Chains A and B, each alone.
Chain A
Amino acid sequence: MSSKMVRLHQVAKLYGPERFALRNVSFDLERGEFAYVTGVNGAGKSTLLKLLFAMERATEGQIVVNNRDICALNKTKVFQYRREVGFVFQDFKLLPDLSVFDNVSLPLEIRKMTPSEVDYRVRGVLSLVGLSDRAKDFPMTLSGGEQQRVAIARSIIGKPSLLLADEPTGNLDTQTARDIMQLFMEIHDMGTTVLIATHDDILMKEVPARVIELEKGQMISDKGGQA
């Protein structure tokens, strides 16, 4: 098995003639690595994460995740692939009609796990994100930080080998953002490869790691960190 978790080679994404969202992007992520993708709005951060999550297909180039060429996946394989990768959204994407427990257990329901297994794993992951006492509550009754914790809990409950996060602290105050970043570090410490898209320089300084910088869809720098 390759030590590379993610490998991008000459990846480009066009949304129309001459409308490049990404152009010639190439980089690797080692297994268990922690990295940021940064850049101003419109730099291509979210597009890159969408390509990695198979929400969109690259126009050119090759993307290999966990030894799998995700550009070649058919629809069924995409469903299976998404079960192996966690994704944290800036807007949380929680289901308002479901309780915290049911939101977090959703990926396990999709995997058709038994109720006892679901219960065991949900309680474990809620404990990790510090929301054990909010299991029966609904998202609308939670603060922004708590909602993001629920979203993170849901993204890691399937024990993904790769966790992607698109501006996970974008809607949060500074202290809550720090707490969330701390949570990402804990998840990383458990062996998960983490790639976070952000333009928050302060946070990147507080939790130093490799930074891949994009500008107008092109990679302009790749600086190593300490994580």
Chain B
Amino acid sequence: MGYRGIKRSFIDFQRHPWLHLISVVTIAAALVILGAFFLGYRNLESIADKAKSQITGTVYLKDGLTEAQLTPLKERILSLGMVKGVVFKAKHSVMEELSTFLGSGVGDSLPGNEIFPDILEVEVRREASTSDASDVKTIISKMPEVADVDFSEDWMAQFKRIRNMFQIFGLCLTSAVLIGCGFIIANFMGMRHQARKNEIDIIRLHGASQGFVMAPFLWEGFFEGIVGSIIALVLLYVGKVFLGALVSSQWASLLGVHTFLYLSVGQLFAVVGLGIAMAFFGSFTVFLRFQER
């Protein structure tokens, strides 16, 4: 398995460069798909963590409330145990914020202030759970001055569901891509094996063990896995930089994130490991297929 296997694998890299290149590209493509999923998952987690620590709510007020009605309302809300702060925003300031977020060109085309009510922005304490936030929401919605209430805990629950679906989808995708690419790689390795069948037969006739015969294939798989995963990681990094630029512009305030994260160290190792695993899987199926009977 040692240096002789490595030497013979390098000889084959020179002999069949295109077949090896196709294997590397297949591995890289599979890992880009998987890595994209990892990237998405990591950033979704990051958004979820951020959102979890900042549950906020918007209280839409009925029209025509006076200052005399507003002050006791704010005090009543603040007196609720889990509420940290309450800020009043008049309809015109809501309109201004929206115009700023959408840009002046779009903002100008919006209808007038009349479509937005006055609001109270309610910030829930960090230690509050989503059920605490739900309780606060229920109490506030029953107050006579309130038209409607919208709390981010609803969105959090929705987000959690999406995240769970994403997790299941990712698991299925990972399995499918791994198996599919493993078989594609196995076929290319099979072609290389076929091209070397004569050589392998001759080697066997001189007393080579299965291990000696298969060693270069396993090394080739190892090196292809390494190269394929490095290519995939570079492509993912380029994608991360591109998406990072997008996120740091307009989406930042909407999603509450200001940086698009790259893969974690664990995910980096997972990508490289999966690349090698795929190539090994390909080698191993060839090993089984061509085992001397």
A and B: bona fide binding partners: yes
Chain A interface residues (CB < 8 Å from chain B): 53, 55, 75-76, 79-83, 87, 93-95, 97, 106-107, 109-112, 154, 158
The interface residues of chain A lying within 8 Å CB-to-CB of B209 are: 76, 79, 110
Would you mind naming 5 contact pairs between A and B with Cβ atoms under 8 Å apart?
A79-B209, A93-B202, A95-B202, A110-B206, A110-B212
Give the docked Cα–Cα distance between A55 and B209 (Å).
14
Cross-interface CB contact of B207 among A83, A94, A95, A97, cutoff 8 Å: A83
Classify chain B's interface size: 10 to 19
Quote the shortest CB–CB distance from A59 to chain B (angstroms). Answer: 16
Asked if residues A82 and B206 are in contact (CB atoms below 8 Å), the reply is yes
A110 touching B207 in the complex, CB below 8 Å, given contacts A75-B292, A97-B15: yes
The interface residues of chain A lying within 8 Å CB-to-CB of B210 are: 75
Quote the shortest CB–CB distance from B87 to chain A (angstroms). Answer: 78
Give the docked Cα–Cα distance between A167 and B53 (Å).
84
Give the docked Cα–Cα distance between A136 and B208 (Å).
24
Asked if residues B207 and A80 are in contact (CB atoms below 8 Å), the reply is yes
The interface residues of chain A lying within 8 Å CB-to-CB of B11 are: 97
Give the docked Cα–Cα distance between A76 and B207 (Å).
9
Does B205 lie at the interface of the complex (its beta carbon under 8 Å from any beta carbon of A)?
yes
Chain B interface residues (CB < 8 Å from chain A): 4, 11, 15, 198-199, 202-210, 212, 292
The interface residues of chain B lying within 8 Å CB-to-CB of A94 are: 202
Asked if residues B4 and A109 are in contact (CB atoms below 8 Å), the reply is yes
A-B contact number at CB 8 A: 43
The interface residues of chain A lying within 8 Å CB-to-CB of B208 are: 79, 110
Quote the shortest CB–CB distance from B19 to chain A (angstroms). Answer: 15
Quote the shortest CB–CB distance from A220 to chain B (angstroms). Answer: 29
Asked if residues A106 and B206 are in contact (CB atoms below 8 Å), the reply is yes
The interface residues of chain B lying within 8 Å CB-to-CB of A97 are: 11, 15, 199
Cross-interface CB contact of B205 among A93, A111, A112, A158, cutoff 8 Å: A93
The interface residues of chain B lying within 8 Å CB-to-CB of A87 are: 205
Asked if residues A106 and B203 are in contact (CB atoms below 8 Å), the reply is yes
Asked if residues A55 and B205 are in contact (CB atoms below 8 Å), the reply is yes
Give the docked Cα–Cα distance between A188 and B115 (Å).
107
Quote the shortest CB–CB distance from A148 to chain B (angstroms). Answer: 15
Give B211's nearest chain A residue, CB to CB. A79
Asked if residues A83 and B15 are in contact (CB atoms below 8 Å), the reply is no
The interface residues of chain A lying within 8 Å CB-to-CB of B212 are: 110
The interface residues of chain A lying within 8 Å CB-to-CB of B202 are: 93-95, 106
Give the docked Cα–Cα distance between A106 and B292 (Å).
19
A82 touching B4 in the complex, CB below 8 Å, given contacts A75-B292, A95-B199: no
**Top 3 closest pairs, chain A to chain B, by CB:** A83-B207, A82-B207, A107-B206
The interface residues of chain B lying within 8 Å CB-to-CB of A112 are: 4
Give the docked Cα–Cα distance between A176 and B42 (Å).
73
Quote the shortest CB–CB distance from B293 to chain A (angstroms). Answer: 9
| Residue of A79, A80, A97 contacting most chain B CB atoms (<10 Å) | A79
The interface residues of chain A lying within 8 Å CB-to-CB of B206 are: 82-83, 106-107, 110, 154, 158
